[in-house]
Structure 1
Amino acid sequence: MTGDLRALFTDVMAAVPTPVSVVTAMDGDRPHGTTVSAFASLSLEPPMVLVALDQRSDLLKVVRATRRFGLNVLAGTQSPLAMAFARKGETKFEGVAWHRADDLPLLDGVSGWLACDVSDLTDGGDHVVALGSVVAAHLGDAVPLTYHARTFGTPVALDGATR
């Protein structure tokens, strides 16, 4: 990709508001997680989602081995968690309130959470797309965190209504 196309692609994608989530998995008793903005609902029957994980991600190794992941849709007040889970390292869960649900990490206070069994893993450039069959769900009452124009925010309905 040329530098000009890469820059334009990056700018176009930055202009698209996306939900911010932390994908989690368990490696025995050790939780793992990483921030993602590339996830979407895929199917209603059966319920499925897709999430893109960096090829070099430590979390991807755990997801490949366990064939499971949790999708924590962050609440509008949880941008510090998004930043903490976006960094590399093994200390991401230090000081983070979470518990196990369906044997996966569920971060406290999230807007929503899904437990998924991996249906397929597909290469997609420098990422792997994980297709997840939803086996459990939790709906919180918080407005979700979004990322748009390189900044965190929350969605606002045109009529001003919130969830």
Structure 2
Amino acid sequence: MIDQDTFVELMSGVCAPVTVVTAIATDGRPHGSTVSSFASLSLAPPLVSFALDRSSGLLPHLPPGAPVGVNILGAHQQDVAAAFARRHQGPGSKFDTATWTIRDGLPHLPESAAWTAGRVERHVDGGDHILLVVSVEEAESTPAAPLVYARRTFGTHSALAVAS
């Protein structure tokens, strides 16, 4: 088996979307966290997935059946990604750094490149993380360039020049 540092270095070379996953706590306060493990899982039915560290403060607010929002960040939202990546802030305090509204009953970052909302279908054990499978109920995309993360830096997608 490879060591953890080798695996971390390998995965740092994989370009990943940058999202902010959101939920509302039972006391009505918003919760959110930057997540780069977001992926399409199924077209029929429409399912997406993402993984959260077992120690994530967001995880207790996303049991199976819970509503969840995924804000797919635009290239102009690096500061939002950094703010929501910080750990151990008080509930709702991450939202002080961004413009947000309630959409589909969930915290929504309206300047995002895309948005999806749904319900947590199930949790899947993934070692030190939990994989959440989400049924998609709402979705909207814009032509905004997406924010991506690779080699420990933010960037965006660009088309390759076609060789002649």
TM-score normalised over the length of structure 2: 0.91
The question of whether the paired residues in 1 share the 8 Å contact of 2:18 and 2:34 is answered with yes
Name the counterpart of 1:49.
Answer: 48
Q: Does 1:37 align with 2:39?
A: no
Name the counterpart of 2:152.
Answer: 150
Name the counterpart of 2:68.
Answer: 69
Name the counterpart of 1:129.
Answer: 131
The question of whether the paired residues in 1 share the 8 Å contact of 2:64 and 2:119 is answered with no
Output the CA distance in 2 between the equivalents of 1:99 and 1:159: 39
Output the CA distance in 2 between the equivalents of 1:19 and 1:117: 20
- Residue type of the alignment partner of 2:44: E
Q: Secondary structure at the match of 2:94?
A: coil
Name the counterpart of 1:13.
Answer: 11
> What are the superposed Cα offsets for residues 115-152 of structure 1, whole Å, 9 maximum, x if unpaired?
01111111111111000000011212311100011100
Output the CA distance in 2 between the equivalents of 1:40 and 1:65: 18
After the TM superposition, list the runs of 4 or more consecutive aligned residues in structure 1 that deviate by more than 4 angstroms: none
Q: CA deviation at 1:93?
A: 0.5
TM-score normalised over the length of structure 1: 0.91
Unaligned runs of 5+ in 1: none
Output the CA distance in 1 between the equivalents of 2:118 and 2:50: 11
Unaligned runs of 5+ in 2: none
> What are the superposed Cα offsets for residues 13-68 of structure 1, whole Å, 9 maximum, x if unpaired?
00110010010001142110000111100000111000101111111001127612
Q: Percent identity?
A: 44
**What do you get for the CA RMSD once the two structures are aligned?**
1.6
Output the CA distance in 1 between the equivalents of 2:47 and 2:120: 10
Q: Secondary structure at the match of 2:58?
A: helix
Output the CA distance in 2 between the equivalents of 1:126 and 1:95: 29
The question of whether the paired residues in 2 share the 8 Å contact of 1:109 and 1:140 is answered with no
The question of whether the paired residues in 2 share the 8 Å contact of 1:109 and 1:142 is answered with no
Q: What are the within-5 Å matches in structure 2 for residues 72-151 of structure 1?
A: 72-88=71-87, 89-90=89-90, 91-151=93-153
Q: How many residues align?
A: 158
